[in-house]
Structure 1
Amino acid sequence: MPESLTGTGIGQGVAYGPVARMAPPPAPPADTDSQLKPEQESARVKEAIQAVSAELASRGETAGGQAQEVLEAQVMMAQDPTLLEAVEQRVQAGKTGEFAVHAAFAEFQETLQTLGGYLGERAADLADVALRVIAHLRGEPAPGVPDPGHPFVLVAQDLAPADTALLDLDKVQALVTIEGGPTSHTAILARGKGITAVVGVKDAAQLSDGQQVIVDAAASAIITEPSQEQIDDVTRRIEERAAAAAAPLTPGALADGTEVPLLANLGSPEAAQEAVDLGAEGVGLFRTEFLFLSSDKAPSVAEQRESYIKLLQAFPGKKVVVRALDAGADKPLPFLNDAEEENPALGLRGLRALLANEEILRDQLTALAEAEAATEADLWVMAPMVSTVEEAETFTKFATQHGLKTAGVMIEVPSSALLADKILPVTGFASIGTNDLTQYTMAADRLLGSVAGLQDPWHPAVLRLIREVGAAGDHTGKPVGVCGEAAADPLLAVVLIGLGVNTLSMAPAALADVRLELSRHTKDQAEAIAQAALAASTAADARQAALDVAAR
């Protein structure tokens, strides 16, 4: 009989095939003394770390885009001076290089896991680096993706960014991980590459090589021993998605012709062309952190301007929404806020940090204004983590003073959602970041697996806050968009439009699915589906209520 295993679906894909399990990592090295002199062991370790770093960087250059950013971050972790010092201390104490790397990296992993959040998710990335260094020291190949000689569903404890980045999509039909959450690098890269994936499937350990399974990301489920009827349904859905992806690109719209611009979320200018190719009508969220995270000082106006021009040139005549630097909390920057905070997610982050460091904000706004003047794009700029009317007003004035004609705010905390009718009159637009809005509404860290069940934008409490923002936008005549992951869920995208949202922004790989689902419903139907979801008391009930009304 078919059995269903649950996890967190990434995207809306569905696939069917035999399981191929990733080999478990090799046993950790024993705590033994080295037969070599400390300086010899030290040289071995340094050479191994350099070799692994070069291999990761090479894989990043091959993959490009978001994958390159992730792998470059891994290289930085491997070369962290504090970590290397911890390895060296163990080597000088007479331990083997293998054990020194294992012990030092494990200690840092534990620290990251204790910190939780974004840094907690990076512990798995650090573990992968350690395994690769130890394998190099042993003269063994690093653990990798299996190749059974036919298309397969890859099942792994977790998957390293270096492996995810270069998956052969002609062979890997879907990805299932036992660990990881929706914001792990595995999930981020799977979403960006359009891989059908379900992560955090704790019961997937029971799956065996060759076992036939359906991987349904839309339903966040793995179906074992599926019936022929279920297989036929999967085949139909795969064909339907393929047809939608191959269809001529058209602007996003509802069945009655109501326009719903579909925009892209981007993290670097290099990703712009792919977004255009997949039908993005502009950019709804351009994250500028990539310019700041890899440096120990803020980039100059000229450096920023060059990157912004490269982005804007890809979208002549189209809207491009750039988010001002969103740092702090899970993205600390020493030159912005190096003070230790008890709870950084509720501390000096986002706009708060920028207003405490006006020079950084002013330089960024200056660079953006100069880039806009040099291109033909319609540049909009928005402030992250706005909590009050005063903050919205202050940021809008700053942007106007620097020559930027369209400034707005992100709605990511309940206070700004509830005050949207006061905030929108003093700024140009609002963009709802559903990831953080859900986190703060449900008091559940969006990067903490133990409360992942609460991190669901379908929850009626979150939907009600979005409705407040949509109503304020309608009343004031100001645009309201969504740039969180909720926009990439096709049915939830319909609900968002029914709640008063005007535009949707998502990972480019999700554009085809969302475009197709929107085309099936009128504005009146979208509003009816949204009302059904609002009337529910749980996220699961809201999703089911929306499905029931949408199917009528």
Structure 2
Amino acid sequence: MGSTYVVRGIGVSPGRVVGPAVRLPDAVAEPPAGRRLPPGSDTDAAAERVAASAAAVRDELDAAAQAAEGDSAALLHATAAMAADPSLVADAQQRVRDEHLVPERAVWEAADAVAAELQLLGGYMAERVRDVTDVRDRLVAHLTGLQAPGVPVRPYPYVLVAPDLAPALTATLDPQRVLAVVTAAGGPTSHTAILARSRGIPAVVAAAGALDLAEGTQLLVDGAAGTVVPDPTDDAVRRVRARGAAPRTFDGDGRTADDHRVELLANVGDPADAQAAADAGAQGVGLFRTEFAFLDRTQAPDVDEQTAAYGRVLAAFAGRKVVVRTLDAGADKPLPFLHAAPEANPALGVRGLRVAQERPDVLEDQLTAIARAAAEHPGTTTWVMAPMVATVDETEAFVAACARHGLPTAGIMVEIPSAALMAGPLLAHAHFASIGTNDLTQYTMAADRLLGAVAGLSDAWQPAVLRLVEATALGGAAQARPVGVCGEAAADPALAVVLVGLGVTSLSMTPRALPDVAAVLAATDLATCRVLARRAADAASAADARAAVRAGLPVLDELGL
């Protein structure tokens, strides 16, 4: 007999697995308030321990980042930088010297002060509170000789169950040890979701009842449907394990069952990702994020450094297409040398292409570097696109800037409802559009895409979002311009069918998702894609849209998706 009880959440990384539940260890305990050094203690030496611990934690995270790739590596490096943040360390040291607090208590209070400031700022900055507390716990553990908070060690693979996961922790998950992730908090575009997808780990977030699952309970996790079944039947377990025995591959030819071509491309976060994406069969790069070259910098990299970095990605895709996105700074990617003062609402502030209005030199240098890299790799087709485009004037100015640099194929990201609604006029000037479904969902639903409290709204299956995708595709068709999707929605095999049915011509995703998306498209003809797209766009809710499409795609169950 198996359980009929089902824990439901939001499926954010597809795949079906079975394994025992293992709970994330409790957080590091707060050191007692007011705990002070013994009289006569050397406060300078105690303060130095804070700096030494910060350096050690930074080095540990940097070492983990060296072994990671792409988004995982970038997030680990960012957390490492936070661990050694001079202001945090200095504040903690001052508390040791002035108040004679023990180092671990000083760190705790200094970190809480930083977290409180971030919480007041709201938006993305408030979401960084989790990162600060992660660093705080690591420092306190190091100072007190405790094991650093992290992934449980077991002699067998398991399903990790947690309230939520810090990015630095998610980035270190080993798919051979952690079969799946189930969290009570989080949303479809949270760091947990994005990193789980990039590592190929099935994941369900915002799962009410997840924390009631007892340690050791056998769980069947469906990362696409968003369900967790405790104590599944023996037959269900056999089916899941049989389907997982032969991993799928992608032959490099995206198409529907009736041979309608759909480009299946890869999202690439830095040069280290490029070769793996090429080896996975990606038909090109639909989103090359260039932020990696600017992170943790006190000033922008020069043209030569950028040219070399971009060239490594172009070299890996000789004979194929690479779409380079210009710097998307701001909001969840603040850069100190570009944003001197914090914004009250960074998601609605100076980000993406808007940065060029204040710092045109940054965009000019970047376009120069992209053009030089393209000239050095003529075998690669190089396209360029700008993020956060809202108006026709912005589009015209960006296309003209690209033309001045000898970059003839210039496009735009569609992340703002205004861009979707004005797709026709915008694409009268731009040569292509790529829809960033993460931000388009955020701005359409007025729901912070990193805030777990509104995770139910932050879902690309929302019919309003799908209708904006359709409007963009219609605008592209009217101008005979291609329209792709490079947001996380493209990695969902069921949603990929809908996007194609709405008129999208290419899908760009984490390379791990390519085989599953290709397999579902290859089993579905274009007419079915269109019928299911209509059902989804006309549904009353995201849940209804998802359910209607999955009911019309029996191949998902056949493939274990």
| TM-score, structure 1 normalization | 0.95
Deviation string 1:344-376 (CA, Å, 9 cap, x unpaired) is 222222112213321111111111000000002
Alpha-carbon distance change, 188 to 113 in structure 1, aligned in 2, over 3 angstroms: farther
Structure 1 residue 520, shift from structure 2 partner = 1.0
* Structure 2 residue 90 is the aligned partner of structure 1 residue 85: yes
| Residue correspondence of structure 1 range 83-122 to structure 2 within 5 A | 83-92=88-97, 93-122=99-128
Alpha-carbon distance change, 94 to 208 in structure 1, aligned in 2, over 3 angstroms: same
Whole-Å separation in 2 of the counterparts to 1:168 and 1:431:
32
Alpha-carbon distance change, 51 to 112 in structure 1, aligned in 2, over 3 angstroms: same
Deviation string 1:150-184 (CA, Å, 9 cap, x unpaired) is 22212233334454344343332212233333444
Residue 227 of structure 2 aligns with an amino acid whose one-letter code is A
Match of 1:539 in 2: 542
Whole-Å separation in 2 of the counterparts to 1:477 and 1:287:
26
Match of 1:18 in 2: 20
Whole-Å separation in 2 of the counterparts to 1:441 and 1:189:
24
Deviation string 1:89-128 (CA, Å, 9 cap, x unpaired) is 2111110001011111122223334434433333222222
* Structure 2 residue 504 is the aligned partner of structure 1 residue 495: no
Structure 1 residue 60, shift from structure 2 partner = 1.4
Contact 1:386 1:412 (C-alpha < 8 Å) held by counterparts: yes
SS of equivalent residue, structure 2 residue 30? coil
SS of equivalent residue, structure 1 residue 463? helix
Residue 390 of structure 1 aligns with an amino acid whose one-letter code is D
SS of equivalent residue, structure 1 residue 426? coil
Contact 2:6 2:227 (C-alpha < 8 Å) held by counterparts: yes
Alpha-carbon distance change, 43 to 210 in structure 1, aligned in 2, over 3 angstroms: same
Residue 344 of structure 1 aligns with an amino acid whose one-letter code is P
Alpha-carbon distance change, 337 to 243 in structure 1, aligned in 2, over 3 angstroms: closer
Q: CA RMSD in A?
A: 1.9
Residue 516 of structure 1 aligns with an amino acid whose one-letter code is A
SS of equivalent residue, structure 1 residue 504? strand
| Residue correspondence of structure 1 range 298-377 to structure 2 within 5 A | 298-375=300-377, 376-377=379-380
Structure 1 residue 290, shift from structure 2 partner = 1.5
SS of equivalent residue, structure 2 residue 201? coil
Contact 2:476 2:483 (C-alpha < 8 Å) held by counterparts: yes
Match of 2:479 in 1: 476
Structure 1 residue 136, shift from structure 2 partner = 1.6
| Residue correspondence of structure 1 range 446-457 to structure 2 within 5 A | 446-457=449-460
Alpha-carbon distance change, 80 to 171 in structure 1, aligned in 2, over 3 angstroms: closer
Whole-Å separation in 1 of the counterparts to 2:54 and 2:284:
41
Match of 1:67 in 2: 72
Moved more, 131-140 or 433-442: 131-140
Alpha-carbon distance change, 168 to 439 in structure 1, aligned in 2, over 3 angstroms: closer
* Structure 2 residue 406 is the aligned partner of structure 1 residue 392: no
* Structure 2 residue 223 is the aligned partner of structure 1 residue 244: no
Alpha-carbon distance change, 359 to 168 in structure 1, aligned in 2, over 3 angstroms: closer
Residue 14 of structure 2 aligns with an amino acid whose one-letter code is Q
Q: Which residue of the other structure, out of 523, 526, 533, is the alignment partner of 2:526?
A: 523
Match of 2:559 in 1: none
Q: Which residue of the other structure, out of 200, 224, 237, is the alignment partner of 1:194?
A: 200
Moved more, 56-65 or 267-276: 56-65
Match of 1:136 in 2: 142
Whole-Å separation in 2 of the counterparts to 1:428 and 1:260:
18
Match of 1:276 in 2: 278
Residue 223 of structure 2 aligns with an amino acid whose one-letter code is A
Alpha-carbon distance change, 200 to 89 in structure 1, aligned in 2, over 3 angstroms: farther
Contact 1:337 1:353 (C-alpha < 8 Å) held by counterparts: no
Structure 1 residue 186, shift from structure 2 partner = 3.2
Q: Which residue of the other structure, out of 406, 413, 417, is the alignment partner of 1:414?
A: 417
Contact 2:10 2:206 (C-alpha < 8 Å) held by counterparts: yes
Match of 1:486 in 2: 489
Residue 406 of structure 2 aligns with an amino acid whose one-letter code is G
Whole-Å separation in 2 of the counterparts to 1:168 and 1:329:
29
Residue 272 of structure 2 aligns with an amino acid whose one-letter code is E
Alpha-carbon distance change, 283 to 536 in structure 1, aligned in 2, over 3 angstroms: same
Residue 523 of structure 2 aligns with an amino acid whose one-letter code is R
SS of equivalent residue, structure 1 residue 477? coil
Whole-Å separation in 1 of the counterparts to 2:69 and 2:415:
30
Whole-Å separation in 2 of the counterparts to 1:132 and 1:344:
28
Matched positions, count: 548
Deviation string 1:60-102 (CA, Å, 9 cap, x unpaired) is 1123443222111111101112212221221111100010111
Match of 1:33 in 2: 36
SS of equivalent residue, structure 2 residue 254? coil
Moved more, 518-527 or 7-16: 7-16
Deviation string 1:458-513 (CA, Å, 9 cap, x unpaired) is 11111111111111222211111000111111111111111111000011111111
Whole-Å separation in 1 of the counterparts to 2:181 and 2:76:
19
Structure 1 residue 280, shift from structure 2 partner = 1.0
Contact 1:350 1:385 (C-alpha < 8 Å) held by counterparts: yes
Contact 2:189 2:458 (C-alpha < 8 Å) held by counterparts: no
Alpha-carbon distance change, 137 to 13 in structure 1, aligned in 2, over 3 angstroms: same
Whole-Å separation in 1 of the counterparts to 2:440 and 2:165:
28
Contact 1:122 1:184 (C-alpha < 8 Å) held by counterparts: no
Match of 1:42 in 2: 47
Whole-Å separation in 2 of the counterparts to 1:168 and 1:461:
36
Alpha-carbon distance change, 47 to 335 in structure 1, aligned in 2, over 3 angstroms: closer
Whole-Å separation in 2 of the counterparts to 1:153 and 1:480:
38
Residue 207 of structure 2 aligns with an amino acid whose one-letter code is V
Whole-Å separation in 2 of the counterparts to 1:441 and 1:162:
29
Contact 1:121 1:184 (C-alpha < 8 Å) held by counterparts: no
* Structure 2 residue 509 is the aligned partner of structure 1 residue 509: no
Residue 231 of structure 2 aligns with an amino acid whose one-letter code is E
Whole-Å separation in 1 of the counterparts to 2:348 and 2:166:
30
Match of 2:558 in 1: none
Structure 1 residue 385, shift from structure 2 partner = 0.7
Q: Which residue of the other structure, out of 151, 154, 158, is the alignment partner of 1:145?
A: 151
Structure 1 residue 254, shift from structure 2 partner = 0.6
Deviation string 1:192-235 (CA, Å, 9 cap, x unpaired) is 11111223334221111211111111011211122334334433
SS of equivalent residue, structure 1 residue 390? helix
Alpha-carbon distance change, 352 to 195 in structure 1, aligned in 2, over 3 angstroms: same
- Structure 1 unaligned spans of 5+: none
Structure 1 residue 340, shift from structure 2 partner = 4.1
Alpha-carbon distance change, 442 to 475 in structure 1, aligned in 2, over 3 angstroms: same
Moved more, 392-401 or 12-21: 12-21
SS of equivalent residue, structure 1 residue 313? helix
Whole-Å separation in 2 of the counterparts to 1:43 and 1:151:
40
Structure 1 residue 454, shift from structure 2 partner = 0.7
Contact 2:175 2:199 (C-alpha < 8 Å) held by counterparts: no
Match of 1:260 in 2: 262
SS of equivalent residue, structure 1 residue 521? coil
Structure 1 residue 267, shift from structure 2 partner = 1.0
SS of equivalent residue, structure 2 residue 228? strand
- Structure 2 unaligned spans of 5+: 556-561
Moved more, 522-531 or 229-238: 229-238
